[in-house]
Structure 1
């Protein structure tokens, strides 16, 4: 799809969660190359080694860390132009009735409640700019049209919820560009060594969405630069 993109993110501020490895690390690196001041969120900020990024302690299941992270960005940068909700876990596999309730809750907390809470905390700064972007890293495992992943049921349900959140947030904030993306099956710690896609390929569309110019499409699910059904 032909969409107008920002050539540079100079002067803009981005927050990427789960930025210490995999797709999140690649997204943070590419946004930095585009000129953004990137806050790289991770549960262990010492794992953020890029010298041109700003390590940020951020466990998206910890309300205090969420508040502290957004407060720090507000104090230091005074703005937030791009929020990439990337942090996720795969969670337990198997028949629903056999799953550990705590593992179910952790999966939902990281993949769904975390992005919701973080976006809620950041919404004032995001809407101040008038053309900010929220990119929710979702999955085809959460598509009703494609078949929700029942092998990893909590994961599939959490990503379906993230898709719904994307659509609803877009409806409430028409000036904010909110999109979800399926990066595909990627060779990460979660995806495994047999996945067909490289990390760079998985980060490609999320970074593309972070470059959307004002007036670009919003409230959609994307894969490889094209919209797909919820």
Structure 2
């Protein structure tokens, strides 16, 4: 049965697992903010959750397994996937949540090291993780990759207001989602992007109107999709967005 691809502007009903007992998930950037909340909720649903964090000294949510994972380091990525395979023997869900952003400057004023770091974390990292995670994912029925993106990267939105590295990297992350759907949907992969909204985190800032629980809601729903459900789309609050 082909993976469905609802049209932008629609709010399709999602066929979700009620429980994730027996399943294994990896969440990057899971020691704080949206990532920690996603990891915590997936664990509450019964999944074995590997919470990726850049430092062994960082705390992760209770009931999660801490895994050292700097997504800019290929060795970390490969080691994390190897460890999950050795310990859990399977991988069902990957949530690419780790992200950075520097906001305000226009491209002609932006420092090149800032651009390089932003592209490395926000786009190269998820691409590397997908590369190494795909073999075990594709052994499962209905594996999921959830890419935490942003409306600031939507091509259909006005791309102004500075923050070029963040905007372009999130546009690229959506491109990764579209590629994964086009390449692997016929093998059962459910790849989706999601905008959590403007959330009160270290990245979003205290002026953000959304709390972490609200921001984590849609990524968790996409991580719960049943096989042959929806893929290849960009979401916010249950609505399919234009790319």
Question: Unaligned 5+ residue runs, structure 2?
Answer: 1-11
1:15 Cα deviation from its structure 2 partner: 0.2
Q: 2-side partners of 1:35 and 1:209: how far apart?
A: 16
Q: 1:91 aligns with which of 91, 102, 111?
A: 102
Counterpart in the other structure of 1:68: 79
Question: Unaligned 5+ residue runs, structure 1?
Answer: none
Instruction: Give the number of the structure with larger relative contact order, counting CA–CA contacts within 8 Å between residues 6 or more apart.
Output: 2
Deviations 1:84-132 (A, max 9, x none): 0000001353121222111110000000000000110110001010311
TM-score (norm 2): 0.92
Counterpart in the other structure of 1:136: 147
1:203 Cα deviation from its structure 2 partner: 0.1
Q: 2-side partners of 1:166 and 1:148: how far apart?
A: 20
Q: 2-side partners of 1:216 and 1:135: how far apart?
A: 13
Counterpart in the other structure of 2:45: 34
8 Å contact kept, 2:30–2:53: yes
Q: 1-side partners of 2:61 and 2:230: how far apart?
A: 32
Q: 2:203 aligns with which of 190, 197, 217?
A: 190
Number of matched residues? 230
TM-score (norm 1): 0.97
Determine if the alignment matches structure 1 residue 22 to structure 2 residue 25: no
1:149 Cα deviation from its structure 2 partner: 5.1
Q: Are the structure 2 counterparts of residues 102 and 92 from structure 1 closer, same or farther at C-alpha, using a change threshold of 3 Å?
A: farther
Q: 1-side partners of 2:35 and 2:69: how far apart?
A: 13
8 Å contact kept, 1:90–1:190: yes
Counterpart in the other structure of 2:241: 228
Deviations 1:47-101 (A, max 9, x none): 2243311000000001111111111001101111000000000135312122211
Deviations 1:126-151 (A, max 9, x none): 10103110000000000011223541
Deviations 1:132-182 (A, max 9, x none): 100000000000112235410110000000001101110100110000000
Q: 1-side partners of 2:54 and 2:159: how far apart?
A: 28
What is the RMSD of the two structures over their aligned residues, measured on CA atoms? 1.1
